[in-house]
Amino acid sequence: MSKHYTRKQARFQIEFRPSEQATAHGGQLAVNTLFEQFGLWQKLKAASGLDGRKHKGKGYDPEVYAGQVLFCLTSGGVSLADAERLDEDASVKEILGIEKFADQTALGQWLRQAGAAGGVEALQRINREFVKWILARAPRQRYEHGGRLECFFDDTQLEVSGPGFQGARINYEGHWALSWQTLWTGPLLADSVLGPASQRKESPSSQAAGNDVSGSLPQLLSENKGLWDKASSYLYADSASSAGKYLDVVEEHFGAWSVSYNKWVEPLEKKAGELPATEWSAVEQTQWRDGTEHQGQYAWFRYQPGGCQKPKLFAVVRHKGPQEMFWRHAFITCQEQNGSPRLAFEHHRLKGDKERAFSELLSDLDLHHPPCQDLQANRMFYALATLAYNALMALKLIHLPENQQPKRVRTLIRHLLMIPVELTRHARQIKAALYVPAGWMAWWRGFLAQWLPRCRQLGTIAQGG
């Protein structure tokens, strides 16, 4: 019989100490070290548009404002009020080398002013450099699939409370919202555009231009094309990006790609109905998205959507359930290839993993709700949130062991970064005691020995650190 385990009433003594001696945000030492290795603070200091002060010897430097938002987000904070509370934690200021943090009023004012002065574009340029820096240092097998760097474009609607939010519009679902269009390079968020939400989910026709939910796709691909090699890259996109004006742009930038196509399907339905039986694969049983068993057949054909310069290759699957008499169709368009149309669909379904990563970003950093009513301030906040997210992903991709790669962002924050640190001062020296789980002690010793050599560690570095 196994040992009996039960609950006992614990008896202990309690002592309260001021925060000058300890903080729960000891893991921000790793975040700060990562930013120092990248050179973020120097880049922020040199960037135009981030510092609107007339007298540079007064007030906060831009890297203090930016760092305050970054450290807030990477320690579980979600708002400007949470960022302000960092100033109450003397120990975290000590280990980060910041004498004082701004209150939320000053922080909001800086976000508005910098956003209007070109600060968003400056942060986007720095983030592109950061993504390139991470990809150059992380093992390629951690972010490539089949030797290709997979990219992903998607939009989400950030719902807000009423028209008081600058740029908010009634979206196609009838809610006040802002649109956040994002471009992903591997697991990293390469770039994004925050702006007014579209009142329609897609263009009225495949060749029409308009303010739709993929309107920033050409701009984002053009500005970030240096992050991938066309011959060894792949782009996933959903049906909102299937308009003809986008398909040609996608083909220009990527050697391989697949886009869902379910918006202007009448000509495709007709063409699929005219395919001879010899063009279809053999009938096979397949489990459909709703979990039911369907009969399915696959085929290729070419069609030129409105707005395209030449015909595109389409994969089609016709399917029907056990109680259905007529075939239903689903379509994707992709690069020219000679393989199986069924495999093209299976590859495109991997887009679901990219969508889950986007959902994790929104929920783990609580980015569903913009913190400010000013649009430029929100653009700055989301540009900084992009840097914060990529920093957490960099810690995982570059530094964590293979068995930790599946961990999501909120797990990294809770179990890697939210660790106690106690500070003691002796003359002009500071001793920081990090209280880490025994299983992570070797990792922390090795990480700090490599990236923070100016700090002397007490004791020997554990084997395997």
Say whether pLDDT at 464 is over 50. Answer: no
Give the bridge partners for 7, in sequence order.
Answer: none
Q: Please state at what angle helix 375-394 crosses helix 119-137, rounded to 10 degrees.
A: 10
Query: Is 389 within the bounds of a domain?
Result: no
- Contact in structure between 289 and 352 (CB atoms under 8 Å): no
∠ CA(206), CA(210), CA(215), 5° rounding? 90
147 shares a domain with 76: no
Lowest mean pLDDT: which of 129-133, 258-262, 284-288, 460-464?
A: 460-464
> Do residues 458 and 323 share a domain?
no
User: Are residue 138 and residue 262 in the same domain, yes or no?
Assistant: yes
Residues 88 and 196 in one domain: no
- Residue 442 burial (C-beta neighbours within 10 Å; 0-12, 13-18, 19+): middle
Q: What is the CATH number of the domain that holds 337?
A: 3.90.350.10
Return the number of other C-beta atoms located less than 10 Å from residue 291's C-beta.
Answer: 6
Query: Residue 402 — φ and ψ, nearest 5°?
Result: -60, -40
Burial of 263 (0-12, 13-18, 19+ CB in 10 A): middle
pLDDT digits (tens, 9 = 90+) for 159-182: 888 778 998 888 877 889 999 999
Q: Is 381 within the bounds of a domain? A: no
> What's the pLDDT score for residue 52?
85
Tokens of residue 460, six digits:
């020997």
Cα 160–161–165 angle (5° rounding)? Answer: 65
Q: Which residue has the higher pLDDT, 73 or 453?
A: 73
Quick one: 217 and 245 in the same domain? yes
Domain that holds residue 425: 13-117+400-465
Mean pLDDT confidence for 456-461:
63
Residue 32 CA neighbour count, 13 Å, CB half: 21
Most confident option among 17-26, 98-107, 170-179 = 98-107
Domain end position, chosen among 359, 377, 408? 359
Strand 22-23 versus strand 169-170 pairing type: unpaired
Q: Is residue 380 part of a domain?
A: no
Are both 172 and 193 inside the same structural domain?
yes
Lookup: tokens for 369: 């709700």
Same-domain pairing of 310 and 451 = no
Q: Looking at the structure, do residues 227 and 240 belong to the same domain, yes or no?
A: yes
177 lies in some domain: yes
In a domain, 238, yes or no: yes
Residue 95 has pLDDT above 90, yes or no: no
pTM above 0.75, yes or no: yes
Q: At what angle do helices 375-394 and 62-73 cross, to 10 degrees?
A: 60
- Alpha helices (H) in 89-243, listed in sequence order: 90-96, 104-116, 119-137, 217-224
252 plus 332 within the same structural domain: yes
In a domain, 3, yes or no: no
In a domain, 65, yes or no: yes
Whether 156 and 94 map to the same domain: the answer is no
Please tell me which of 45-49, 126-130, 243-247 the model is most confident about, judged by mean pLDDT. 126-130
Please choose, from the candidates 166, 332, 340, the residue with its C-alpha nearest in 3D space to the C-alpha of residue 239. 332
Give the chain's domain count.
2
Task: Quick: pLDDT tens for 367-378.
Answer: 999 999 999 999
Residues 409 and 457 in one domain: yes
- On whether both 107 and 187 belong to a single domain, the answer is no
76 in helix, strand or coil?
coil
